[in-house]
Amino acid sequence: MTTSGRATPRGPYFRGAIGALRYRLTGHRMPLALTARVTWRCDALCAGCGMPNVAKPELTTAEWVSVLDEAAALGCVRVCFTGGEPLLRDDIGDLVDRCASLGIASTLETNGGRLPQRARFLRSLGQVLVPVEAGADAHDGVHEPGSHAAALAGLRAAHDAGIPVSTVTTLCTKNRRVADLEAVLDVAESLGGTALFQLLHAEAPLASRGARRMRLEPDELKKILGWLAAAQRSGRSVGMSARTLRYLQTWPDLREIVSSAPHEDVHCSAGNLHCVVDADGGVLPCVLRPTAGAPSVRDGGFAAAFGALLDQPCRACAVAPLVEYNYLFNLDRGAVRERLARVRTPISRSAA
């Protein structure tokens, strides 16, 4: 049960494990996890993000419904709605409900500002992710003045609507202190959620020019990852597997996102078991690939576009959510066990 008293559906996790095992045994590709960047638009100006600079047409509601239907038919078990700011789309509640009707677990990544008005229309969501970088001053320095208060209000609104919540923190120069990380964990735990952490990749396609100024040096970043691993062992609600944290700590140079050689023998599943659908219909194997020339759902549907994805030049990466996917899809026992434990058990130490 979640802290809201709602049972967390485990069917998608079981179907995902079956799909991952089938891929390992037969090589059969299927989009088990789909990242849906439903809009380029955003109502925030964040220091590390270049998304507001993108100006392209967006898929209609009917086109997105078709994407979800085709993805479900191919075996999709999880969709993450992101953007831009997905709550700028009036139909986001309809898309979330469509996932629920298809038996797909859904997650919404949002800055939280519109959740107090919209949360009641999103009750079929499996999870809401809201960025919380540290305390108010540090957070507002990464995003914009007043955004910390808006993020907390959004998290509370989602929690009160019965939606499980998690915070997302991008490790950077603004939250390098232990006190900053503890502030994030306190917020997540107070709402019965987990705290996710990711690296700032200044070279990523949608990073802003200012992202480089906030990037931590590799040695300092590895010390922070070590602190998070220790915090997790002590019972704090760090929402990443211990395997992922160890993987990132042993990455040779955290300024380099991708590698041409396998790392820790973890096979990358990008384009085979997960993919990205952009707001204009382009289908990418992962968030690191350039959008130019991508196959599009507008040229024959999602199934055809997914089928057209080619083998990727990289074999490993240091993008934390993708590393987590790869451990899960490689059926790593530790990562799977930790994920199932988070599904079964509320993590909040304050929700009694």
Secondary structure (DSSP) of 199-243: E--TTSTTB-GGGGGGPPPHHHHHHHHHHHHHHHHTT--B-S-HH
Domain enclosing residue 176, as ranges = 11-344
d(CA 308, CA 85): 28
Cα dist from 306 to 26, 119, 275, 286, 345, whole Å: 18, 31, 8, 12, 35
List strand residue ranges (DSSP E) for 90-234, in order.
105-109, 127-131, 165-171, 194-199
Decide if 2 is inside a domain.
no
Can you give the pLDDT of all 352 residues of the chain as single tens digits?
A: 333 444 445 678 789 989 999 998 999 999 999 999 999 898 877 766 766 556 778 999 999 999 999 999 999 999 999 988 999 999 999 999 999 999 999 999 999 999 999 999 999 999 999 999 999 998 988 888 999 999 999 999 999 999 999 999 999 999 999 999 999 999 999 999 999 999 988 676 666 667 788 889 999 999 999 999 999 999 999 999 999 999 999 998 888 888 877 777 788 899 999 999 999 999 999 988 877 789 999 999 999 999 999 877 788 899 999 999 999 888 888 888 887 776 544 333 222 2
What pLDDT is stored for residue 29 in this prediction?
95
What pLDDT is stored for residue 10 in this prediction?
64
Q: Supply angle C-alpha 142, 279, 50, rounded to 5.
A: 25
Decide if 352 is inside a domain.
no
What pLDDT is stored for residue 292 in this prediction?
78
Global pTM exceeds 0.75: yes
d(CA 198, CA 240): 10
List strand residue ranges (DSSP E) for 43-98, in order.
78-82
Picking from 350, 347, 348, 346, the residue whose alpha carbon sits closest to that of residue 5 is 346
Q: Supply angle C-alpha 149, 152, 155, rounded to 5.
A: 150
Q: Are strands 283-284 and 258-259 parallel, antiparallel or unpaired?
A: unpaired
Picking from 66, 70, 71, the residue whose alpha carbon sits closest to that of residue 16 is 71
Decide if 1 is inside a domain.
no
d(CA 126, CA 108): 8
> Which residue pairs from 343-347 have beta carbons closer than 8 angstroms and sit at least 24 positions apart in sequence?
343/8, 343/10, 343/13, 344/8, 346/1, 346/2, 346/3, 346/192, 347/189, 347/192, 347/193, 347/194, 347/237
Tokens of 211: 């992202």
Are 238 and 197 spatial neighbours (Cβ–Cβ below 8 Å)?
yes
CATH number of the structural domain spanning residue 15: 3.20.20.70
Decide if 5 is inside a domain.
no
pLDDT tens-digit map of 198-234: 998 867 666 666 778 888 999 999 999 999 999 999 9
Based on the structure, what is the number of domains in the chain?
Answer: 1
Exposed (0-12), middle (13-18) or buried (19+): which is 123, by Cβ within 10 Å? middle
Decide if 6 is inside a domain.
no
Tokens of 197: 């952490």
> Hey, what's the torsion of the CAs at 85, 90, 94, 100, to 10 degrees?
20
Q: Are strands 316-317 and 258-259 parallel, antiparallel or unpaired?
A: antiparallel
The neighbouring-strand residues paired with 276 are: 35, 284
pLDDT tens-digit map of 228-276: 999 999 999 999 999 999 999 999 888 888 887 777 778 889 999 999 9
